[in-house]
Amino acid sequence: MPEKKFDLGDYVEVKDRIARFYELFGQGRLVTEEVTLTTEPDGKPRVMVKALAYRTPDDPHPAPGYSWMELPGTTTYTRGSELENTETSAIGRAIGFLGILIDKSIASQQEVANKQDDRPELDRPVDGLIGTAEVGKTRDSDFELRETPDGWALGFRLTQGRTGFKVLSFGPLAQALATLRPTIEGQRVTVWGTMVDEKFTNAKGVDITYKVVHADRVATPEGVIPSVDHAEYHRDEPPTEPVEAESAPLPWEPLDEAEKAAITAGLPA
């Protein structure tokens, strides 16, 4: 299906929720209760904020709101002000859980904007994508090693719950994965490389865009397999024939009678 586009005009701004909150609860207060820095669960640094919306000064059940953001921020609006943006989103969610200005979504305009990424979609580095290596349904993801005009290639599907990515490998990495396939298929692996978009038009004329990882390294149960740049791997280069090293001539002199007798004495009868 076509990639969904988010229209920020469909979402209310946090400032509007704050204004409406104080109109309804003149004695209320909005509090940032917790700020946490973490690298859980995948090692990436994040800031997490918990906010509370009190309807009265001593509200026994304030509405909570949570938000998190990777560090550094991935948009020009969040980079350098990650904490401020995360706090704003958390406050917006806390107010939203009181049922204020949620006609279209509990998410606020700031929250949606903060989570979008303004980096180019093509050639995005993949830093340790973890999943299960499985046989895909397409020819280029069926875990079979094939010779292409650019060299050896092998693809498989990396699944993460209900989602997944096609992973393509090239050159020596593809050959190594083919050799280790019995120990990799169905196992959890980690893939490093570059994420790219691939597009095609299906039989109904609908443009489909999906993510593909061009692998550079793969951590398997057998260890980490490095790769060389597949652009430098040339399948048309003829293999080098092994050349036998020249033998160095050994000095030779005839045996004397004593040496012959010693050899004869050492032979079995």
**Domain co-membership, 79 together with 133:** no
**Predicted confidence (pLDDT) per residue in 64-84, tens digit:** 999 888 888 776 567 788 888
Indicate the burial class of 189 (C-beta count within 10 angstroms; 0-12, 13-18, 19 or more). buried
- What CATH code is carried by the domain that includes residue 190? 2.40.50.140
Q: Is the peptide bond before 182 cis (omega within 30 degrees of 0)?
A: no
pLDDT value at residue 239: 40
Angle CA(31)–CA(36)–CA(42) in degrees, nearest 5? 140
How many distinct structural domains can be found in the chain?
2
> Which tops the pLDDT comparison, 76 or 158?
158
**Domain co-membership, 45 together with 72:** yes
The helix/strand/coil state of 37 is strand
> Which tops the pLDDT comparison, 63 or 7?
63
Global model pTM greater than 0.95:
no
Write down which residue in 73, 97, 115 finishes a domain.
115
> Which tops the pLDDT comparison, 226 or 16?
16
| Structural contact between residues 134 and 156, judged by C-beta atoms closer than 8 angstroms | yes
Per-residue pLDDT at 113 exceeds 90: no
| Structural contact between residues 131 and 211, judged by C-beta atoms closer than 8 angstroms | no
**Predicted confidence (pLDDT) per residue in 30-71, tens digit:** 999 999 998 887 888 989 999 999 999 999 999 999 988 888
Q: How far apart are CA 129 and CA 132, in angstroms?
A: 10
- Asked if residue 256 is part of any domain, the answer here is no
**Domain co-membership, 130 together with 211:** yes
Terminal Cα-to-Cα distance of the chain (whole angstroms): 89
**Domain co-membership, 153 together with 208:** yes
- Asked if residue 241 is part of any domain, the answer here is no
> Which tops the pLDDT comparison, 18 or 104?
18
Q: The domain containing residue 87 runs over which residues?
A: 8-115
- Asked if residue 134 is part of any domain, the answer here is yes
**Domain co-membership, 66 together with 144:** no
Q: How far apart are CA 198 and CA 186, in angstroms?
A: 25
**Domain co-membership, 160 together with 204:** yes
